[in-house]
Structure formats: C-alpha cells, structure tokens
Amino acid sequence: MTARIGVVTFPGSLDDQDTRRAIRLAGAEPVALWHKDKDLKQVDAVVLPGGFSYGDYLRAGAISRFSPVMGSVIEQARAGLPVLGICNGFQILTEAHLLPGAMLGNDHLHFICRDQRLRVENAGTAWTGDYREGQEIHIPLKNMDGRYVADRYTLDKLEAEGRVVFRYLDVNPNGSLRDIAGITNEAGNVVGLMPHPEHAVEPLIGTGRTDGLPFFTSILKKLVGA
C-alpha cells in the first residue's frame, strides 16, 4: 500500500511544494489539492501548508477556512482523517475550530525567522509517533502571527489531557501562552504547529538536521500499519 497524502494549495501558499517534497522523501505519495475543489481525491491524510493564504486578510487563515476544500477537510477530519496544519495551516485549523484557541500577531510585532528548539510533549498523535516524549528537536520557524492564545480553561484542559504536542525551548519567539508551539485535538488525528518540519528533512537545508522528517514518516507508518 502506498499512502497518499494531500497538500492543499491556497492563494498565497508558500510551502506547499516543500511539503510535497518532504512527503515524497518519507516514502509516501504527495497529492496536490486545490483550494477551490471539494474533492480530496481519496487521500489518506491532508497537510495544510505554510504561507499567507488569501494574503492573511481579516486574520491569518480566516478566509481560507471558508474555501471549498476546507468543507471537505473539516468533515473528514471529524470522521478521523489525519490532518496536519503547519504555520498558516495551524492558523486555518483554529479558524475552522478543528483545534481550540486562536493565533494572534507576535507580541514584538515583527516577522521572525529562526531555527527553533522544541520539546516533544506528545508522541502519541498520528503525526508524532516517530518521536520520543521529551525529545528535543530543532525546526525552522517563520511567522508574523504565531502567538497562540486561549482562555485559561482551554489551556488547562490542553495540559491536563496531554494535548500540547510541542513547546518552545530557550526562547518564546512570539509570545505564545505557556510556550505552546503545537497542539492536537482530542482524537490525536489533527495536529497544528507553527514551526516548519518540511524545512528540516535534509541535512543540506534548513537547520542542517532532519528533525522534521519524523512528522512524515510517522503518518506513513500510521497509515500502512508499519
């Protein structure tokens, strides 16, 4: 069985091709999905890539949430389809209420681009099975609206249920509450994070490490039962 992983391209997506390359390097088949299409082409999982979809007008991800493809993504994610949102994709997932909370502008009001150290807090999701809980990794980060916020009840619930998947180490680059860099839904099939694992899959690019590749090998093993 060859796992087929769809990557949605919105107007303003920047990292869709890099994401498809990462999927291919992991051994799965990348499938290009267009924002105007409702058909997900029978893919086994979906990635919402980074970028500035629809120019991030209104709010980051606010318009993309209503694109035709997202109707299908939301419906199938609630039925168990694995979905990964990277950066702008994370913003879209919160706007679509597939993940709780919201993404606001960085607290320092500047775009940030840096190699970021993270701690893996949850290795039990569909996208993190090839990591170890407590593992420290380096993943590139680039965002303008990367500050994760939620009310105290939601934050406490995420912590209590083990749904914080990644946490920033050394420095909080955008003011995210409780240093949260990524979260998951209750079922563990939907994950969103601000750093870009697709930029850390080959030693010659990004951080010079391959710490992002396990995202894509994890879902591949989940889908084929390896």
Both tokens assigned to 208: 């010079």
Active site residue 97: no
Active site residue 75: no
Of 95, 121, 138, 198, the active-site residue reads 198
Nearest to 131 by CA among 88, 87, 191: 191
Of 35, 95, 121, 196, the active-site residue reads 196
User: What are the beta bridge partners of residue 143?
Assistant: 112
Nearest to 182 by CA among 108, 112, 78, 84: 84
Residues 84/190/220/176 CA torsion (nearest 10 deg): 50
Per 3-state DSSP, what percentage of the chain is helix, strand, and coil (rounded to 5)?
30, 25, 45
Of 35, 87, 95, 199, the active-site residue reads 87
Active site residue 196: yes
Task: Assign residue 11 a region (left: φ > 0; alpha: ψ between -120 and 50; beta: otherwise).
Answer: beta
Residues present in the chain in total = 226
Q: What is the largest CA-CA distance in the chain?
A: 47
Residues with a catalytic annotation lie at 87, 196, 198
